[in-house]
Amino acid sequence: MGRKSIAEQRRSEIIMAFYRCVVQDGFAKTSVRKIAAEAGLLPSAIHHYFKGRDEMVEELVIQFTDRIFRALEKKMAALDDPANRLSAGIEFIFSPDMINEEYSGFFLECCAESRHNPRVRQTLAGLFQRFRRAIVAHLNESPEFAGLPPEKQQLVAAMVVALHEGVELQWFADPASIDLTDAFVATRAWIGLLTTELAGKNREGKK
């Protein structure tokens, strides 16, 4: 793989400065001038590398998503047994590696920004689609899940995302009230029950 060009490296540095500003102050209080100061650049340099704030927000969400998925892929690559991989993948999405003050706060900032910014909303939709695809690919290591029709697999994935986001929101509001390990154990059991239920209905439908 070739080295990043100077322009790519500079864009990445600006996006990371943007991320630090949002984590600290939120989107509403993060100006181009503040991002430039954090990156050690003049404001005019920001406009040289990005067309506008929307493009920066889009790139920021993409880089944030990539960071999470790289961490998941690294964890999965270290495991050979499908059963261990299945449990570890579910555990990861409820671990402090994914639900923490920084990541969860940033994600909620993105959700708030998307209310009035269609481009950010579209980027968030892409994030959720990628999340669901990863869950389906991950759960397909279970023979019973792999036997479900695609629409049922998507349903399970969407519900796992809903559980994750609901737990994350409650944890962020009141960390003392949510045990992430318990949430992981409950979700793992729930996935097994729902998959078995849907598989049974699928077999009945084929009779």
Secondary structure of residue 152 in the 3-state scheme: helix
Check if the beta carbon of residue 182 is closer than 8 Å to that of residue 147: no
Tell me, what's the pLDDT at 120? 85
Tell me, what's the pLDDT at 128? 93
For CA atoms 70, 135, 104, 12, give the dihedral sign. Answer: positive
For residue 99, what is the DSSP state? Answer: S
Tell me, what's the pLDDT at 171? 97
Check if the beta carbon of residue 4 is closer than 8 Å to that of residue 43: no
CATH placement of domain 1-50: 1.10.10.60
Tell me, what's the pLDDT at 4? 65
Tell me, what's the pLDDT at 11? 93
Give the phi and the psi of residue 6 in degrees, each rounded to 5.
Answer: -60, -40
Residues 60-206, CATH architecture: Orthogonal Bundle (1.10)
Domain boundaries of the chain, sorted by first residue: 1-50, 60-206
Check if the beta carbon of residue 110 is closer than 8 Å to that of residue 128: no
Tell me, what's the pLDDT at 1? 45
CA dihedral 185, 188, 192, 197 (to 10 degrees): 90
Report residues of the chain scoring pLDDT below 50: 1
CA–CA dist 14, 30 (Å, integer):
13
